Structure formats: C-alpha cells, structure tokens
Amino acid sequence: MRGPALSLALAALTAPALWAEEIGDVERGQEAFVLCSGCHLVGAGVEEFEMLGPHLNGIYGRRAGSVEGYAYSEGLDRMGSDGLFWTLETLDAYIENPTVLVSGTRMNFDGVPDAEERADILAYLRLYSDNPRDIPEAEPTALPTDPELRLPPEVLAIEGDAEWGEFLAGECLTCHLEAGGNEGIPSIVAWPEDLFVIAMHAYRRGLRPNPTMQMMTERLSDEEIAALAAYFAQLE
C-alpha cells in the first residue's frame, strides 16, 4: 500500500518548488509521514485504496470531511458543514492535537507536539495538492504561528467552579440539550473536562468555524470555560 505514495513522493522531490521550502523540509516531512501512513495514503492513484483514514491528495483547500465515500465521524462531518476547510493553519492545529479541532474524531492519534516536525509534514503533503501556488502567499510564513497552540498546562489545570458553571450554562442550554442529543446541535454533556476546555478554546481562538460558538466563547475567561467544563462534566 505504501509503495505508490513513496515512489511518487521521491519523484516529486527531484523538483522541489520554492513554496514548499517556505513551510518546512519536504524530505524530513516524508520521513515523518510514517507516523500517518498507517492510516493515510498520499500520491497519484491512491484514491482507489481503502485505508482506515481518507487519502490526503488535494488536502489543501479541501472541505473537512469531504472525501466521497469515506465514513467520517459525526464531529468531522459537522465541522466540515460548519465551514472548516483544510489550510496550513487548520491542518497544523489538527495534526498538533486532533481533538482541538474536532471533538469525537476517529483520528485516534496523540498529535505531533513539535512545530517544526508538523511544518515538515505539511510541506510534504503540499506536494500533492492541486495548484499549490494558488494558496495565498501569506499563509506559509504564518506557520508555525502560534506557540500556544497546545494549551498551557496551567489553563488545563484550572479547577472549575461548577456552581458558577451552572449559571453560565444557562447560555448554552438555549440550544444544547442538557440530556444530550446530537440533532442539529451537538451534545455537550458528560465530556471529559479537558476535552471540553480544549474545544471551547479552539472556538474562542477562531480555529473552529461556527460563528455562534465563536461569539459565545469569545467573552469566556479561562476560569469561566473551566467552570462550564466542570458543570457539564457532571451531567449524564
């Protein structure tokens, strides 16, 4: 299975383009892609092969969850419908920690903590996206932008005030059912607190696309997010 991807990648390496070097090192990226290749293929013709994960040809500019015939998680489908497109920034965030961007993703992967290694992988993947030169020039230099992509441990360690969370939760319960339920609006009850916190921060920073959620989280402090996480975690 890995054959076609690797050989084609090597062919591409013979003519590295300028844009690729702006992101990271393609050759190192190819090596690092071993982490991904257990589930994902990239390269000409790999669309025919069924793997655990979708193929990554043309990933740049693609809507999340849009490879025809692939059974995505509900969370990834929702993010795609909400308007999540794969860009340098969103791919970087996803590879760094998949659950930041997509709650309930099937991509069971701890993530790549090293920003340079991610940049290399992204440079390698970009060989297989159509018209990569059409990607706005500003983006490559914008990566890796955010040294705080991974939430600082002290933010994750905040102990939430569940009673305060109960009051704040009033804002959530206009739309989200306290008994759970995923019709049109996802369930937010009984999540592990850290995943809840990570997801809210991703909306607050605009990494996740839904404008209602971006607005709702924009004014939440770190303590308020922790309070909500504590409150909702105890509901079943």
| Shortest distance (Å) from residue 187 CB to other proteins | 10
Is the peptide bond prior to 144 cis by the omega test (within 30 degrees of 0)?
yes
Subset of 82-121 contacting other proteins (CB under 8 A): 82-83
Q: Which is nearer to other proteins, 80 or 144 (CB)?
A: 80
Q: Looking at 185, 194, 205, 222, which residue binds other proteins (CB under 8 A)?
A: 185
Q: Write the CB contacts of 14 (distance below 8 Å, at least 6 apart in sequence).
A: none
Q: Which is nearer to other proteins, 22 or 161 (CB)?
A: 161
Judge whether 52 and 38 are in contact, CB under 8 Å.
yes
Residue 234 found at the interface with other proteins (CB under 8 A): yes
| Shortest distance (Å) from residue 231 CB to other proteins | 8
Q: Which is nearer to other proteins, 133 or 219 (CB)?
A: 219
Judge whether 124 and 26 are in contact, CB under 8 Å.
yes
Three-state secondary structure along 106-170? CCCCCCCCCHHHHHHHHHHHHHHCCCHHHCCCHHHHCCCCCCCCCCCHHHHCCCCCHHHHHHHHH
The beta-carbon contacts of 53-56 under 8 Å, at least 24 apart in sequence, are: 53/106, 53/107, 56/125, 56/128
Tell me which stretch binds other proteins (CB under 8 A): 51-59, 80-88, 136-144, 191-199. 80-88
Residue 184 found at the interface with other proteins (CB under 8 A): yes
Binding mask 144-183 for other proteins (x = CB under 8 A): -------------------xx-xxx-xx-xxxxxxx-x-x
Q: Which is nearer to other proteins, 38 or 181 (CB)?
A: 181
Q: What's at 109, amino acid-wise?
A: F
Helix, strand, coil percentages in the chain from 3-state DSSP, rounded to 5: 50, 0, 50
Q: Please tell me the distance from the alpha carbon of residue 232 to that of residue 236, in angstroms, as a whole number.
A: 8
Subset of 202-221 contacting other proteins (CB under 8 A): 211-212, 214-216, 218-219
Residue 69 found at the interface with other proteins (CB under 8 A): no
Which residues lie near other proteins (CB under 8 A)? 63, 78, 80-83, 163-164, 166-168, 170-171, 173-179, 181, 183-185, 211-212, 214-216, 218-219, 231, 234-236
